[in-house]
Each structure stands twice: as structure tokens, then as C-alpha cells.
Chain A
Amino acid sequence: MDRPITFREELRIAGRIASIRLRGQMAYRASFLLQIFSNFLINTAEILALFAMFYRFDTMGGWTLSEVALLHGISMVAFSIGDMLTIGMDNVAPQIRSGEFDRVLTRPLSSWMNAATSEFNLRHLGQLVQGVIILGFALSRVDIAWSIDKALVLALAMISGIALFMALFTVEAIFSFWTVNGVEAINAFTYGGSDLVQFPLHIYGRTLRFLFLYVIPAGFITYYPALYLLDKPDPLGMPDWFVLLGTPITVLFCLVTAWGWNQGIRHYRSTGS
């Protein structure tokens, strides 16, 4: 085909590739289910820790168990979906090291799409299931006066969250275009960020709050939407419209990430690392 590929076609191709790869994994049903189950168990530890904490204390920073569970649910669902959609990004650093990354650039797809889809599995399905359970638990226990606004805020928080974590996993890959050392340090922000914003932001000190609002805007996809859903006043005294900041700030973060990715590709193509 002579015509350049469109974004919609790329998405469709990525979907087809994912389904073929899944079919391949499903062939080994026992191993497939076992992986999901073990992933589920690993994440159970997090939940147990949460329950253990609330066994000793009734509230955390004025939030009840169910309210904190809401933060957990949003963060875990967004993180696991974002992770699943960008698993291929984990391969970028080793591919650059081994020279396999050349192959990504001989495909008729955009380099990002190609790198992201270089791997796909449902291993993280366990965490997603976990997140959905927690989110369901939280939503059934907390007292939310539901309105269209609130439903919209929750939906946007989810979508922005997925995009944000996809971008964060991409950021890690971007660094590997320049250096092969210490790229894993970025994990502290990805995994650390998703863990940290599972608790109310006001329990942290100024530095951490600043970091996870204005540098990595993960706080905007759990904390502020949760405040809004629960009709809680912001103990940090930020204006009401802060709840609306999540989506635009995520879009900005993704744009900067996309720019960074293109710089990385440009660097690679001029140095051929």
C-alpha cells in the first residue's frame, strides 16, 4: 500500500496484534491462569497492608478505610491498564543495547506504537481485577451523592490516569536512548507514584506533594477527584477548580512525553546507539 498509514489504522493494527498474541498465550491455559493468579496474589499484599493499617487506626488524615480504598481503586485500575498497554516499553532499553531496536524502525508504524506493541500479555490482569474489586468495595461503602458531574469527574480521572501511567512508562524508555545506566531509577516515580497517590495527599510533606502534583501529576487523578466525589473540603486550601486540572495537566504531560520520545528517536537515528 502506497498511502501513508493513518492513526486509526495503527490503532486497529495494534489491536489485532494484541489479540493474536493473546491467542498464543491462551494456548497454554494453565500457565496463563497461573500468571494472572500470582499477579493477583502479589497485589493482595498491598490490600492486606491497607486493612492492617486500618485495624490499628480508624482514620488516616481524617479519611476512613473506604475513602482511602477509593484512592487505591482509581490508582490501581489506571496503573494496571496503563501498564498493560505499554508493556513493550520495558523492552526498549534492552532492545537498544542489543541493536534489536533497529527493527522497530523498519516497520511501517510509528515508532512509539511499534515499541509499545512489541509485547503484550495479560499478566497484569490480576492487578486490574484487584483494583476493580477495591474500587467496587469503596464505591459501595462510601456515601456519594451521585450526579452527572461526579460520574464525569470519575470517568475523566480514570482515562487521564491510564494516559498518565502510559506516559510515565514511556518516560523510562526515553531515558534509555541516551544512557543504559540507571534507567530503572525512573521506576521510583512510576511505581512509587502509583503507590503514593493511593493515600490522601495531605498526609505527606510539602516536597512529596509538590513532586506528585506538579512534576508527576498523579495526585490530580486520584486525590482531587476523590475530594470532589466525597464532598470533602481541600485541607490544602486549593481552589475548587483544582478538580478539573487532572485532564489538561495530563494532556500537557503526554505532549511533553511525546516530544521527549521524538527527541529520543532523533538521537538514536543520528547516533545509532
Chain B
Amino acid sequence: MSMISVRDLRKTFPIKRHRSGMKGSIASLFRPEYEGEFAAVKGISFEVARGEIVGYIGPNGAGKSTTIKMLTGILVPTSGDATVAGLVPWEKRKQLAQKIGVVFGQRTQLWWDLALIESLELLKHLYRVPEARFQENLATATELLGLGDFLQTPVRQLSLGQRMRGDLAASLLHDPEILYLDEPTIGLDIVAKAAIRDFLQTLNRERQTTVLLTTHDLDDIEQLCARIMVIDHGEVMFDGELNALKSRWGGRRQLIVDFASDPDADIGSISNGALEVTQIDGPRVTIAFDRDAISAPDVLGRAGAFGEVRDMSLQEPEIEDVIRRMYEGSVPIRT
């Protein structure tokens, strides 16, 4: 059974015309004028099965948040269908809220002036979690996320990493079937990131919690997500396994060549279907090449015709590069 099912989901925002002055703003209040529309999500479709961890990635303004807001029932789509845990989110918002956990990395759902434990107790009432279940979940979260040291600390005094762990624990008290995470590791140090990733993996393994994760952190993706969806300009550009993405888009290795002095300016002319000079920075030249079409010594040999080579290094394709190239190409690919 699909946990999340999305069919041709579309969201268009009207762009309001701004009128100046007191009179203008009163007029806009009662009779707004629109100067056009902005299509944030342009008819996307996908399915997420129970227990999947899906990385939902794309540049800022690509439509990620808008999609998630529709799938939590915060926004009503302009057209299209979706069901989450069997419910239409925007029609059964309150019921759905009981089945999902939402973590916005930048904002907290805890109360600033209360101790962490008090915030969690408040949420226990809010989500009608039975006492026994609450204690069990609290114990698990305390153990796996190490909350013990700061349960009694007011939220405003927590470090970002502590707060984030508190937020994660808070979003899971009511045993949600689906967890939406928006940039859960943003701004965290390596230790906190690792703790959070471990926790998510354990949760997913032991409870089959479905996770939809938006992130700019490519380590998050590499370590957590077997499947990724790339969205840009409101459309799904890629939906499939991380490895498939890498081999399709990221077959390119990089050869970094250091010349003794600046090489001939026309070194760029060696670019062809198999290799490409991507950067010239004084005597340092970066050449990306397709490993299936040309070998590294061959590339080095061709570059050597333009100056005296002093040193070189070889880099394996990085997912960062893969995704950057996808955005640049902007060609929808489905597998």
C-alpha cells in the first residue's frame, strides 16, 4: 500500500498587485488586483511506499516546501489529488495531523519558555498520547538522542543541536506513520548530525516509519535515502535510486591539472563529447571527463600539449556535482 500517493498535483499562487498609500492598501484588502500567477508546483505525481526514506531535493524555490505543505494539509492545491496515510490532507487536516510528524529545521515546535520535558508533556495532551505510550516513547528518544542531560532545561537555553534533538523527539511522541523533515540537520555540528541520522535509521528500521526528507546536505542523502526525488521549477526532474542518478548524471570524474605557468589560453578548445574544461584558475585547470569514453592518462596527455604539467590529482564524482549538473541541464528525467 502506498503511504503517500500524489497524482498531478498543482499549486498556483496569484501574484497580488501592490498599491501604495493608505487608500491603496484598503482597496487591496477588499478588492485585490492580481497581476499574474506563479506556478510553484506544476503537476507532479509520485508514490511513496510504507517504510521508505525518500530524499526530496532541489534548489530554493523549486517547490519542495509547497509540496510538503500540501501533503500536510497546510495548503490546498489548485488541482490534482493526493492521499497521505489514506487521507486527503487538505480535507482531513486534523485527523491527518494525528498520523504525521513534522519537523521544520529552522523553527521549533517547542515552547521557548518551558523546559523541554514540559513541552513534551504539553504535546502528549495535544496529541492525546496515552501515558504508558508516552513514557515508552520518551524513554526511547531519551536513550537514542541523549535527551537526559537537558530534559529540564528551558528550550530557549538549548543549543541548536539539542533543540533539534528535542524537536525530533517531540514529533514522534504520537507514533506518526509518516515523518516530514525539512532541513533537519541544517546548522548542526558533525556529532549532532550523526546522532540524528542514526536515530532516523533506527526509527525507520524498527517502526517502519516512512520519511520524506528535504535537505541541502548531501551527506544526509547519501547516508539515509535509498531513493531520491529531485524537483526543480515545480517539476520532478528525477525519481529513482541514488546510484541510478549517479551513473546517469555523474559518470564524470575530474582531473585537476597544475601547470608550471599559465597554460595556453586556448586549452578550452580540447573540450569535446568525452571531456570538458570546467574551470581555468591561473595555472590550475579542472577537466571533467566521462570515464567510459576516455582514460585519465589520455586526458592528461591532451592537456599536456598546452603547457608543462607540474602536478595533477583525480577526483571521483560527487553527488553535489551530479545535482548541480542536473539543475543546469534542467531536462526532466524519469526512471
Contacts and interface: CB of A to CB of B under 8 A. Distances in A.
Contacts of B73: 105-106
A1 B114 contact: no
Contact of B94 (A21, A110, A270, A271): A110
Interface string B75-87: 1100000000000
Interface stretch (B42-50, B121-129, B294-302): B121-129
A9 B66 CA distance: 31
Interface residues on B, range: 35 or more
B25 interface: yes
A5 B72 CA distance: 18
B95 to A, nearest CB: 6
Contacts of B95: 2, 4, 108
Nearest to B90: A269
A13 B125 CA distance: 6
A108 B25 contact: no
B118 interface: yes
A100 interface: yes
Given A17-B122, A20-B121, A272-B69, A106 B74 contact: yes
A16 interface: yes
Contacts of A100: 107
Contacts of B121: 20
B109 interface: yes
B97 interface: yes
A202 interface: no
A269 B126 contact: no
Contact of A179 (B28, B122, B125): B28
B100 interface: yes
Given A1-B128, A21-B114, A272 B74 contact: yes
Nearest to B115: A24
Interface residues on A, range: 20 to 34
Contacts of A106: 72-74, 97, 100, 102
Contacts of A17: 122, 125-126
Contacts of A269: 74-76, 90
Contacts of A13: 125-126, 128
A99 B68 CA distance: 14
A141 interface: no
Contacts of A137: none
Interface in A226-273: 266, 269-272
Given A103-B109, A106-B102, A179-B28, A5 B74 contact: no
Nearest to A23: B118
B125 A105 contact: no
Q: Name which of B22, B29, B66, B125 has the most chain A CB atoms within 10 A of its CB.
A: B125
Contact of A24 (B14, B90, B114): B114
B29 to A, nearest CB: 5
A241 B113 CA distance: 49
15 contacts: A1-B127, A2-B95, A13-B126, A17-B125, A17-B126, A20-B121, A20-B125, A24-B114, A99-B107, A102-B104, A106-B74, A106-B97, A108-B98, A109-B94, A270-B75
Closest 4 pairs between A and B when the two form their complex, measured CB to CB: A108-B97, A16-B125, A108-B98, A105-B74
Interface of B: 13-14, 22, 25, 28-29, 66, 69, 72-76, 90, 93-95, 97-98, 100, 102, 104, 107, 109, 111, 113-115, 118, 121-122, 125-128
Given A105-B74, A182-B22, A269-B90, 5 more contacts: A2-B98, A20-B121, A105-B72, A269-B76, A272-B74
